[in-house]
Chains A and B, each alone.
Chain A
Amino acid sequence: MDNATPSSSWVQQAVLQMRASDTYQSKVFDEHYETLPVPVWNSQQNWLVVGFGVNSRTGGPLGAITSRAPHLVCAIEWPSAALHWVVDNTAQRAWPTQAGLPEPVIPTDRQGDLTQRRQRYYEALSRALDKGAFASKPPADARAACEAARATRDALLPASPYKNLLPHYATPLHSIDGWIAANCG
């Protein structure tokens, strides 16, 4: 991807590139769940992280819905879109998890179908990354970054209607809220 000009569809393009990769095509089954990409960062770098795991319900109304930790994780580097896969037994630790956080609740006032809501999330997250949100370094334009970060936060859960995946979003949401609290007054 063009590093110099990240676009409003950067996240969408990054996800499509991830799916086109050899690792994805050989390791990820259609019957696996796939989480939304969530932002993760440290003092040097920020990434989008996507988790994959065995789904107890794919392909039909079979069995009870249960949450299973990701057994595959892909970290997509911002802004290069380089892919880093964790495909061994360390994958569970690669997914951001913090004990004791409450399980998120999907808002009921969702507008549009799943495809439209997912698109809104991708666009908000692309904008947020472009404006310097979800990084250790304070953003140059705090107002724009905070606006995009809040839009990302609002769009995340409506983009996933899957209740069995909600426990996986508790820590990423907590991190997003933490970034907003620290940078947006």
Chain B
Amino acid sequence: MPGPIGGALSGALKTAWAAVTNLFSETPAKGPCVACAAKKTIVGPAWEKAANDVFPGQQNYGNCGLQSSRQLIEQAKGGKLNKTEEQFMNDAIASCGAGQGSTPETTGGTSAEARKCVMQQYGVASTVQPATVANVDDALRSGKGVIISSDADTIWATQGEAEGMGGGGRHAVVLTNAIYDSNGKMTGVDVNDTGLGRRYAMSTEDLQKCLTSGSGKMNVTDAPIWPTN
């Protein structure tokens, strides 16, 4: 039987343990994590509405990276920007060195660093990280905004598109959510793709192929932006 001191200590330990478990249930988990999996396996209507509302549809320029950045900015700030696609692109060309081409479809290109700059212009802090499945998993578990780069044909092949459509270039898309199995292992991701003008899911195996074919870098917002319910 614990004495008075032992009982007080036991209570303090219980409180401390509860604080620790609460803390870790809110942070990204690297390994299988049943608590996190239960929290994130089934995303709810709030996420679905957010991911759908922020999606602008098909882009009108060669600006997939900018249209991806815009989604993260609008989701992070909680509202639509009062700029047209062209105004947003021209501002990014002027302030962050996005590509100025000779035709609409050759204008608006970005690197991961340029996208970081664009998001910073609108007050959304982010980092450029190595493009790995583990980093995607970490970021999405905590609801952060993610933009990845892929060879265009490699990512579009996952949706049954014909080879050659990408023209030899790469493509940037937003990952809005990760899908987990009952053991907490990431089995796929949800994608907002302004090139195809569609939202879809793809497996982790396909994600790995996309990341390997891309620029090797990805954008991750510093703060969580997606609803978890």
Is A109 on the interface with B (CB-CB < 8 A)?
Answer: no
Chain A, residue nearest B147 (CB): A30
Contact status A164-B168, CB under 8 Å: yes
B164:A58 contact, CB within 8 angstroms: no
Inter-subunit contact A26/B113 (CB<8 Å): yes
Task: Please give, as numbers and ranges, the residues of chain B lying within 8 Å of A55 by CB-CB distance.
Answer: 62, 106, 167-169
What bracket does the count of chain A residues touching chain B fall in? 35 or more
Assuming the A-B contacts A19-B215, A60-B197, A114-B153, are A30 and B64 also in contact, with contact meaning beta carbons closer than 8 angstroms in the complex? Answer: yes
Measured CA separation A59–B111 after assembly (Å): 14
A94 to B73, CA, bound (A): 40
Which positions 96-128 of chain B face chain A at CB distance < 8 Å? 98-99, 101, 103-106, 108-114, 128
Say whether A32 faces chain B, with CB atoms less than 8 Å apart.
yes
Residues of B within 8 A of A20 (CB): 130, 216
Q: Which of A41-49, A137-145, A146-154, A155-163 contacts B (4 or more CB under 8 A)?
A: A155-163
A60 and B153 form a contact (CB under 8 A): no
Is A59 in contact with B168, judged by CB distance below 8 angstroms? no
Encoded as 1 (CB less than 8 Å from any B CB) or 0, chain A from 1 to 40 comes to 0000000000000001001100011111111111100000
Knowing A29-B111, A31-B110 are in contact, say whether A61-B217 is a contact too (CB < 8 A): no
B169 touches which of A19, A32, A118, A163 (Cβ 8 Å): A32
Q: Mark A77-106, 1 if CB is under 8 A from B, else 0.
A: 000000000000000000000000000000
Which residues of B in the span 117-167 have a Cβ within 8 Å of any Cβ on A?
Answer: 128, 130, 149, 151-154, 157, 163-167
Contact A115 B209 (CB under 8 A): yes
The contact of B62 among A26, A34, A59, by CB within 8 Å, is: A59
Give the chain B neighbours of A161 by CB distance below 8 A.
Answer: 153, 163-164
Are A58 and B216 interface neighbours, CB within 8 A? no
User: Could you tell me if A60 and B109 are in contact, using CB atoms closer than 8 angstroms?
Assistant: no
Q: Closest A-chain residue to B208, C-beta based?
A: A115
**Does B184 have its Cβ within 8 Å of any Cβ on chain A?**
no
CA distance A31 to B169 in the complex (A): 6
Instruction: Judge if A62 is at the interface, Cβ distance under 8 Å.
Output: yes
Let me know if B166 and A57 touch, CB within 8 A.
Answer: yes
CB B215 to nearest CB in A, in angstroms, measures 6
Closest residue on chain B to residue A162 by CB atoms = B168
Q: With A25-B111, A56-B105 in contact, do A33 and B215 touch (Cβ < 8 Å)?
A: no
**Does A63 lie at the interface of the complex (its beta carbon under 8 Å from any beta carbon of B)?**
yes
List A contacts of B108 (CB < 8 A): 31
Q: Indicate if the CB atoms of B154 and A56 lie closer than 8 Å.
A: no
Known: A30-B215, A58-B168. 9 other contacts (CB 8 A): A20-B130, A25-B128, A28-B111, A29-B110, A30-B172, A31-B63, A31-B64, A35-B168, A57-B169
